[in-house]
Structure 1
Amino acid sequence: MSTAFRSMGMSIVQIGLPSFVESIAGSLTSYGIIIGVFSVTQSIFQYPFAAVSDKLGRRKVILFGMLIYLLGTFLCFTAQDVIQLIIYRAIQGAGAYTSILQAIIGDIYKKDQHSKGMGYYSLYMNVGYFLGFVIGGYIASFLGFRSIFLISGFLICFSILFIFFVLKENNKTEMNKNPDKNMEFNMINIKILLKERQYIFSLLFNCVRWFLFGFITAYLIWVLQDDVRGFGLSEITSSYIMLAILALYVVFIFISNKLLDRYGPRKLMMVGQIIVMVFGISFFFPDFVLNLSVFLIISSCLGIGIALFDPAGNTLLLEVIEDIQPDLKGSGIGFNNAIGFFCGAVAPMIMSPIGEIDIFFPFYVVFGLMIISLIISKFLVDKKY
């Protein structure tokens, strides 16, 4: 439930944020910074929160993180200018408790049921995220865009109450006494992995993937709602459009998972990269793409391509680490996530100023990244994958 409430609060904010930023004289660049700074502080505090929870127990630390997140959320509601909103979003991101939610699942479910627990985690996260888009559109339209942070804050309050009354601290001593040494994140293991070219290639793919995820949803919302260079849609209309695109994305994530065993990650990545490139060419003809129907079809096809690219990148990473040294999965995945989180955090800060030059320039960058990724997939990634 806490996962669903958090995801719902985040998507509620996403759909109403462009109007909020414009109301305090913000630009596309400041919009990107406001989104990015949240992810930057979240990435900085993610590991410390998780590490402290191993020593002090999940319940205390997650409640502390939620209170910081709640403080930042309500401060955002009061923001009167761009600088204040940037600072308050940084405070909001500092309450980085998502990794503890995942750790709690690991504590509750036995080892042979971890996949079941993570399945529930993903389900609640996606359901909350999708509902937030719909609810957020109506909240921003009828209650005012500033209220997106107020409603998001109330959802966090419900999460705090749920954790406080429902979650019981059980296995703190066991967590401290039985660390899995194979999952340690240390530089010695990282250096071993970085000597292997295939690991470096898989890192590059996942950096591209995180970079795309870091900006593309928020940027699409801005383009749909921008009155000057975009389509000038309302929050309600854009929320339903984003819901449809994301639903299509999730469907093809499911399909790609089914295809991975048959075709392998390398081939599936190449298919996804080619789809993004083929439809990405359209953005070089702005008069054609500025038709809303055409833009939505192309955006949906880009989502399909990225959906095929996404799980294939994760699978390639795991298979490469298995071939190098299976005991290094913890370090290899942890290093990948650390770099990926950073790429996702800086993406909106980089792409939004580019979008100030031309609304479609960020899509040209996506096209270029896919060309580079396709070349690496075709000629440098080992064909056995």
Structure 2
Amino acid sequence: MTNEGHLKEMGISISKRKSIFLSLVLVNIIRNMGYNFVNPGFPDFVKSFEGTVVIYGLAIGILQITQTIFQLPYAFLSNKIGRKKAIAIGYVIHIIGTVLCGFSTQIWQIILYRAISGIGVYASVIFATLSDLYDESERAKHFSFYTMSLTVGYILGNFLGGVITDYIESFSWLFFISAILNFIGFVFLMGIIPETNMKFLGIEQNSKIEVHNLKKCQKNTRKPYGLPFIFGLVMHGVKNFFFGGFLAIQIWYYTDIYNLSGTWKGIILLILTIFYIIGLYIAPKLRKKISYFTYIIITSIALAVFILATSFVETNLYLYVSTNLLLAFTLAMQDPITTSYVTNHMDENNLSLGSGILSTVGMLFYAIGQISISGLAKVLRFQWLHITSSIFWAFLIGLILLVNYILKNRDKKEQKF
């Protein structure tokens, strides 16, 4: 039975499916705005509790850590009780955690309540819902639009949050505004989306022939855990580690060293995101002209150089912002390439498994980067933090060359046989 046939059994017309998808995208923008409202003013909020840069990094990263941990449980839960109920549970938990953040009076409460907010992030259920609604041929396009909505929410949240921070008496109001936006999104979404889990609804998704063919294919499937997969995973994790870490520490430095207002921090984060998007757009076009390893080596050298250059511009805000924009652009240049490299070295029947591992590693290392680099900033001065990071990238370039050498030799031996 085709996907359209399943939709008819669920009572979902093609036009209704479009409405559901647009609702998911709109709510995702609102939800992601709420997440990022607090970013520009968060360093000041942590410092108001006499918190250090280490506490700031932990408070920022803990939400992403609990979000990562609970993605698989949400996916399993949505198979047991249905997608809609799983989304509802996640939404309620996140709203409660966000409201509690607004009432925090001690720094440990901020960390605890941010962790609770992260538990309520149900991204895996949304991807499962989109998979229910669309065939494989249509999923990539709709996943892309959905991911783009994350970026739109990120841009709007950071910019508006920065502006609002300058005009409110208490930072706690940003948490309350975020909770209100999430509640509106929750009510809207619950009124629009139906249950889409076909197994939960008792609809048979595959015929006996399809199941037989799937099992047959799975027997011939090679495991996606070879050296290329592991190498791509490492590169993806390292990229997210540095992006999460340097984004967090940038916001802290804009507050602690440069004393920028919330509005200016919002504007800088807006420009930084635009540079990141440009990098994402250019990457596939440039990659077509050179080999994967040549591409990764060039971008890694550029990252090492830009990080090293940043270590010498502490006293000049304009140069610091400029090097950060170049860093965001170059990190974005690696993002889609590492992902495609991993998927290109996997059997099609293992794409969902490998992509799930890739996504989890990306989110986890993003959070670890926020916490770790903020911790290093407490120990190392501005200059030495960036010099140490550039040395790390130099070692990573050596690792890339080594892996490239090993894979080339392996290919030559295979060709002989």
Q: What is the TM-score with the length of structure 1 in the denominator?
A: 0.89
Local SS of the residue matching 1:7: helix
Moved more, 134-143 or 330-339: 330-339
1:1-385 alignment to 2 at 5 Å?
Answer: 1-143=26-168, 144-173=170-199, 177-178=204-205, 192-194=223-225, 196-226=226-256, 230-285=257-312, 288-321=313-346, 325-357=347-379, 358-381=381-404, 382=407
Distance 1:174 1:150, change over 3 A: closer
Letter in 2 for 1:353: G
In 1, Cα distance between equivalents of 2:384 and 2:368: 17
Letter in 2 for 1:236: T
Letter in 2 for 1:153: A
TM-superposition CA deviations, 1:66-87 (whole Å, max 9, x none): 0000000000000011111111
TM-superposition CA deviations, 1:193-221 (whole Å, max 9, x none): 44x22222222111202212332222211
CA RMSD of aligned residues (A): 2.6
In 1, Cα distance between equivalents of 2:184 and 2:142: 22
In 1, Cα distance between equivalents of 2:42 and 2:82: 35
In 2, Cα distance between equivalents of 1:183 and 1:37: 39
In 2, Cα distance between equivalents of 1:347 and 1:123: 23
Moved more, 166-175 or 244-253: 166-175
Contact 2:132 2:198 in 1 (8 A): no
TM-superposition CA deviations, 1:165-197 (whole Å, max 9, x none): 11112443378754899999xxx9999444x22
In 2, Cα distance between equivalents of 1:81 and 1:348: 21
Distance 1:212 1:183, change over 3 A: farther
Letter in 2 for 1:89: R
Local SS of the residue matching 1:15: coil
In 1, Cα distance between equivalents of 2:141 and 2:337: 21
In 2, Cα distance between equivalents of 1:75 and 1:219: 25
- Counting matched residue pairs gives 372
Q: What is the TM-score with the length of structure 2 in the denominator?
A: 0.82
In 1, Cα distance between equivalents of 2:67 and 2:247: 18
Measure how far apart 1:258 and its partner are.
Answer: 2.1
Contact 2:93 2:119 in 1 (8 A): yes
In 1, Cα distance between equivalents of 2:373 and 2:349: 37
Q: Which runs of 5+ in 2 are unaligned?
A: 1-25, 412-417
In 1, Cα distance between equivalents of 2:250 and 2:221: 36
Contact 2:58 2:370 in 1 (8 A): yes
Measure how far apart 1:243 and its partner are.
Answer: 0.7
In 1, Cα distance between equivalents of 2:146 and 2:384: 35
In 2, Cα distance between equivalents of 1:118 and 1:374: 32
Distance 1:362 1:348, change over 3 A: farther
In 2, Cα distance between equivalents of 1:300 and 1:190: 42
Percent identity at matched positions?
Answer: 27
In 2, Cα distance between equivalents of 1:212 and 1:82: 25
In 1, Cα distance between equivalents of 2:311 and 2:149: 38
In 1, Cα distance between equivalents of 2:228 and 2:136: 29
Letter in 1 for 2:294: K
Distance 1:31 1:70, change over 3 A: same
Measure how far apart 1:232 and its partner are.
Answer: 0.9
Moved more, 337-346 or 71-80: 337-346
Measure how far apart 1:41 and its partner are.
Answer: 1.1
Letter in 1 for 2:282: I
Aligned to 2:6: none
Contact 2:30 2:181 in 1 (8 A): yes
